[in-house]
């Protein structure tokens, strides 16, 4: 079966979905709210299961070319610099660390030209007789399938499941940054009430994250970078110097939230339901048990 899908959201999830559709012969239109797909975000690491998914999408080599092996979870330290655990060279626990923008670019380059429409915030979804319609700033489109990849505050989730709970603040907040500091090994330093993570990323940079507890979401400081330095300034090297080496504008601040799962992630229209019922009622070839 092939058809036309609308993917809502052009983040890593949306582009991966579009690429997967392309690989199985579907057409897709990706509707992205942002005016342009800029180099945003900080870093992330990917485990072998994610790398297998990237291989299925045909972009494992391109991803490896912009990923850097990291042993962050093997190098556990305390704020005074002692190692609770130290990764050995050649340890098989390495993950691949990326600047989010580099991994996003790999997917973007692989999605067929013309599939992505920016400045297209989706505001409505409507189930028609044989299709699903999407309303967005700038127009309307219909397709056989809509995939919601519009992030943790998904509009599509809210429209289709208005009673589902919204994101829940987990009592934690994080500062993230990318600095031009080459060859840093990955590590996690466990301190009182929080931890500091370092991953090396491509082109001689390092990604860091300081995750700690917060009483409420939305607490912000005039100078976010100075606030991180105030909290971890006495921790072992290279933590303070890494934060100092990060441009003020490069420090990202987020509150950490979780989203409860839905009982199902699929909402079928009448036509799709009828097609599936017809397929299921067709006689199937008998399976012969091989013992």
Ligand X SMILES: Cc1cc2nc3c(=O)[nH]c(=O)nc-3n(C[C@H](O)[C@H](O)[C@H](O)COP(=O)(O)OP(=O)(O)OC[C@H]3O[C@@H](n4cnc5c(N)ncnc54)[C@H](O)[C@@H]3O)c2cc1C
Least distance (Å) between residue 60 CB and ligand X: 15
In the complex with ligand X, which residue's Cβ is closer, 151 or 185? 151
In the complex with ligand X, which residue's Cβ is closer, 19 or 122? 122
Is residue 47 within 8 Å of 59, Cβ to Cβ? no
In the complex with ligand X, which residue's Cβ is closer, 144 or 150? 150
In the complex with ligand X, which residue's Cβ is closer, 72 or 238? 72
Least distance (Å) between residue 78 CB and ligand X: 21
Cβ within 8 Å of residue 60, ≥6 positions away: 51, 54
Give the separation between CA 149 and CA 9, rounded to whole angstroms: 5
Strand 76-77 with 83-85, pairing: antiparallel
Least distance (Å) between residue 14 CB and ligand X: 5
- Residue indicated by tokens 């391109």: 62
Is residue 99 within 8 Å of 65, Cβ to Cβ? no
Least distance (Å) between residue 68 CB and ligand X: 13
**Binding region for ligand X (CB under 6 A):** 8-14, 31-34, 44-46, 121-122, 149-151, 155, 174, 209, 254, 256
In the complex with ligand X, which residue's Cβ is closer, 135 or 269? 135
In the complex with ligand X, which residue's Cβ is closer, 29 or 131? 29
Least distance (Å) between residue 181 CB and ligand X: 19
Least distance (Å) between residue 103 CB and ligand X: 9
Give the separation between CA 87 and CA 266, rounded to whole angstroms: 42
- Cα distances (Å, whole numbers) of residue 69 to 81, 89, 124, 238: 22, 11, 42, 19
Least distance (Å) between residue 275 CB and ligand X: 28
In the complex with ligand X, which residue's Cβ is closer, 12 or 232? 12
Give the separation between CA 172 and CA 226, rounded to whole angstroms: 19
């Amino acid at each position: 079966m092939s058809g036309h899908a609308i993917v809502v959201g052009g983040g890593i999830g949306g582009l991966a979905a579009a690429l997967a559709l392309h690989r199985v012969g579907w057409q897709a239109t990706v509707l992205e709210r942002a005016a342009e797909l800029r180099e945003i975000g900080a870093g992330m690491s990917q485990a072998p299961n994610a790398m297998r998914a990237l291989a299925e999408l045909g972009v494992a080599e391109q991803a490896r070319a912009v990923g850097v092996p990291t042993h962050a979870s093997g190098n556990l330290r305390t704020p005074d610099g002692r190692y609770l655990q130290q990764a050995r060279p050649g340890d098989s626990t390495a993950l691949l660390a990326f600047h989010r923008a580099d991994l996003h670019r790999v997917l973007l380059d692989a999605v067929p030209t013309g599939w992505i429409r920016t400045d297209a915030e989706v505001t409505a979804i409507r189930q028609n007789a044989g299709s699903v319609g999407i309303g967005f700033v700038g127009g309307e489109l219909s397709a056989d399938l809509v995939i919601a990849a519009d992030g943790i505050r998904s509009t599509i989730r809210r429209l289709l499941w208005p009673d589902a709970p919204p994101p829940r603040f987990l009592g934690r907040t994080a500062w993230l940054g990318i600095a031009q500091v080459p060859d840093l090994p990955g590590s996690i330093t466990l301190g009182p009430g929080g931890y500091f993570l370092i991953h090396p990323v491509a082109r001689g940079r390092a990604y860091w994250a300081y995750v700690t507890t917060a009483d409420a979401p939305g607490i912000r400081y005039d100078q976010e970078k100075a606030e991180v330095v105030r909290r971890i300034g006495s921790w072992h090297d290279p933590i303070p110097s890494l934060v100092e080496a990060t441009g003020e504008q490069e420090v990202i601040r987020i509150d950490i939230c979780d989203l409860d799962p839905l009982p199902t992630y699929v909402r079928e229209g009448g036509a799709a339901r009828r097609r599936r019922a017809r397929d299921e009622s067709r006689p199937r070839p008998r399976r012969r048990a091989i013992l």
